[in-house]
Amino acid sequence: MNYNWNWHIFFEPNPTGAGTYLDMLVSGLLLTIKTALLAWVIALIFGTIIGILRSLPSKTASWIGFAYVEFFRNMPLLVQLFLWFFVLPELLPRAAGLWMKQLPNAPFWTAAIGVGLFMSARVAVQLAAGIASLPRGQKQAATALGLTTGQGYRYVLLPIAFRIILPPLTSEFLNTIKNTSVAITIGLIELTGQARAMQEFSFQVFEAFTAATVMYLAINIVVVTGMRFLERSLAIPGYIAGK
């Protein structure tokens, strides 16, 4: 292979004139983190609401939950981002569509919300499974004590269900981070986008993507470690994951 390795490329000035190639990648990394965090918050909030709906005895509630989950999990993420970014503004009334298109940082908001909603369907399914795995008597005991349905969820069912699903939730958090790279297609210059830009300007494709890989790995290690600590601090003595 006739390839000219150059690991010093990271310290050479980038063509935008603002800093080095490394600075470029770091700014992409920060944008990836920002997008992923917002997406994860959205995924948790909507996933929790829909997960609860799916676990309620009401037929209407579980139908809404079912429709939501199937809508968001059965379409490729890429298609969903295109829908939100290119199609939605055209479907809205002219003024609203124009406002959306002219929104500053539109790719960022679209990516965070789009990835967030896509992931929320997965969080919802896991939470519903977590709640379903609890003995039926737990809900009955909460009800028999006079707690309302809302209080039963808030103080009894959700605290246990979330502990049970923490390990798969860690995977979903990691998926959220990695899925933000799809946003490159709607013009969000996050970590993958910056690596590609670096490759185009410098022709050092291997160095650029090696650095991006290491950075993705680094964030994910932080997340995995953080979630481990969370799992440990929430462990219940004698119960799941507790010793």
Task: For the segment 133-162, give every residue that binds other proteins (CB under 8 A).
Answer: 135, 137-138, 140-148, 151, 155-156, 159-160
Q: Which is nearer to other proteins, 87 or 236 (CB)?
A: 236
3-state secondary structure of 195: helix
Structural contact between residues 195 and 211, judged by C-beta atoms closer than 8 angstroms:
yes
Is residue 30 a contact point for other proteins (CB under 8 A)?
A: no
Q: Which is nearer to other proteins, 221 or 236 (CB)?
A: 236
Is residue 237 a contact point for other proteins (CB under 8 A)?
A: yes
Q: Distance between CA atoms of 151 and 183, rounded to whole angstroms?
A: 39
3-class SS shares of the chain: helix, strand, coil, % to 5:
80, 0, 20
Q: Distance between CA atoms of 139 and 160, rounded to whole angstroms?
A: 12
Among 65, 69, 119, 163, binds other proteins (CB under 8 A): 163
3-state secondary structure of 13: strand
DSSP annotation of 11: G
* Residue 177-216 contact track with other proteins, rule CB under 8 A, x = bound: ----------------------------------------
Q: Distance between CA atoms of 35 and 113, rounded to whole angstroms?
A: 9
CB of 149 vs other proteins, minimal distance in Å: 9
∠ CA 101-28-182, nearest 5°, is 60
Stretch that binds other proteins, among 29-37, 93-101, 116-124, 130-138 (CB under 8 A): 130-138
Which residues, listed in sequence order, are joined to residue 13 by a DSSP beta bridge?
A: 20
CB of 143 vs other proteins, minimal distance in Å: 6
Among 18, 45, 218, 236, binds other proteins (CB under 8 A): 236
Binding residues for other proteins (CB under 8 A): 135, 137-138, 140-148, 151, 155-156, 159-160, 163, 236-239, 242
